Amino acid sequence: MNLEELGRLAGVSRSTVSRVVNGDARVSPDARSRVEDAIRASGYVPHAAARSLASNRTRILGLLIPGAVGFIFSDPYFPKLVQGVVDACNAADYGMMLMMEPADDPVASERIYQRVFRGRHLDGVILTTSLLDDPLIERLATDTLPAVLIGRHPSLPSLTTVDVDNRGASCRAVQHLLGHGHRRVAHVAGPLDIMAAIDRSDGYRDALTGAGIPIDDSLVIECDFTEASGRDAMRRLLAHPDGRPDAVFCGSDSMAAGGFRAIAEFGLSAPCDIAVMGFDGLEQHAVSFPHLSTVVQPIPELGRSAVGALLNRIASPDEPAARLMLPTRLALRGSCGCLNDDDPDLAP
């Protein structure tokens, strides 16, 4: 079945069928209905390559994960984010190309840029993590290819971004710990070349400064968002020469999970001996550690919103960059010192 045959079946011209297949609005409702009926009756499927040539669109979106983010295969954050992107692509009748930028390999990064992005094999790209010194993100920010960043970048205002208020949410989480009377509060931070980790660390500092508590840098340990690094950091904090802290704010639930394991190794418990607060709201860790108090962010919705924002950029490339900020909430399940009063529906 080709376009001419579909046109005869629907009683319209080949060009009218082509317009309907390619989403052109310049078709009357009656003609569009007859063409759509003919497509359903015939089982016709448009040829992807021909459709791309006709519309100048590939109907494929890219999802780029920086290879320097070495924790992506162990952190349950990324599967939830990818699922949100896939769901939104499917709903919009788009395909998704998942790419990983090579770590510390500028030649390979350049090949990806030239072959995939400059070659226009995609209609647009979603960048999943804001590494401050990533040259590929900087190039895409000035390229004509539509791009959306999940997160934010302090020096690339031309990028449309989808994010949560990492700094404000972290500040509120630490303020909650302070509200329980804790004054010696430590921070297990994520990699401080990633904007989200920087913002969460800044939120920790904002809360202490606002409470008039001096920052003790020996209570801040930079990790890599993994459970193993959180375990090692908690071991160091529990053996601190000036005594263990009263509470710990972890920049991810994975690091908090590692922290719980270290606390158990020392024969201690949370919150009786040390209070713990995480960040992410991941179901996987809520099952293993159901009393983990945490900041819940809507991870799948970040992916879905990024697709929506990217489709808007594709449709209206001259519109100014947008800043979408999604809400977070505190889930207080006990490890912070509260009774478990969280909504049982964990996932936003």
- Counting Cα atoms < 13 Å in the Cβ hemisphere of 228 gives 4
Judge whether 3-55 and 166-297 match in fold: no
Beta bridge partners of 147: 125
Q: What is the pLDDT of residues 91-103, one digit of tens each?
A: 999 999 988 876 6
Pairing of strands 329-331, 293-296: antiparallel
DSSP 214: P
What pLDDT, on a 0 to 100 scale, did the predictor assign at position 44? 72
Q: Which residue from 153, 158, 127 is spatially nearest to 142, judged by alpha carbons?
A: 158
Q: Which residue from 127, 123, 146 is spatially nearest to 136, judged by alpha carbons?
A: 127
Above 60 in pLDDT, residue 343?
no
What pLDDT, on a 0 to 100 scale, did the predictor assign at position 115? 78
**210, amino acid identity:** G
Cα gap 199→214, rounded to integer Å = 19
- For residue 40, give both structure tokens: 């359903």
Q: What is the pLDDT of residues 17-26, one digit of tens each?
A: 878 877 777 8
Cα gap 259→264, rounded to integer Å = 9
Q: In this structure, are residues 114 and 45 in contact, taking their beta carbons and an 8 Å threshold?
A: no
H or E segment and range at residue 331? strand 329-331
Q: What is the pLDDT of residues 105-164, one digit of tens each?
A: 777 777 777 878 877 789 999 998 767 777 778 888 888 899 999 998 888 888 999 999
What pLDDT, on a 0 to 100 scale, did the predictor assign at position 315? 92
Above 60 in pLDDT, residue 215?
yes
Mean pLDDT throughout 21-49? 79
Q: Domain segments of the chain: what residues?
A: 3-55, 60-164+300-326, 166-297
Q: In this structure, are residues 227 and 259 in contact, taking their beta carbons and an 8 Å threshold?
A: no
Number of residues that this document lists for the chain = 348
Q: What superfamily does domain 166-297 belong to in CATH?
A: Response regulator (3.40.50.2300)
Q: In this structure, are residues 177 and 275 in contact, taking their beta carbons and an 8 Å threshold?
A: yes
What pLDDT, on a 0 to 100 scale, did the predictor assign at position 246? 96
Confidence class for position 346, pLDDT limits 50, 70, 90: very low
Cα gap 249→270, rounded to integer Å = 12
Above 50 in pLDDT, residue 347?
no
Q: Three-state SS for 164?
A: strand
Confidence class for position 285, pLDDT limits 50, 70, 90: confident
Q: In this structure, are residues 329 and 296 in contact, taking their beta carbons and an 8 Å threshold?
A: yes
How many percent of the chain have pLDDT more than 70? Answer: 89
Q: In this structure, are residues 106 and 135 in contact, taking their beta carbons and an 8 Å threshold?
A: yes
Above 70 in pLDDT, residue 245?
yes
Q: Which residue from 174, 64, 81 is spatially nearest to 116, judged by alpha carbons?
A: 64
Question: With respect to CATH, is domain 60-164+300-326 assigned 3.40.50.2300?
Answer: yes
How many percent of the chain have pLDDT more than 90? Answer: 57
Between 269 and 108, the more confident residue is 269
Annotation: CATH topology of 3-55: 434 Repressor (Amino-terminal Domain) (1.10.260)
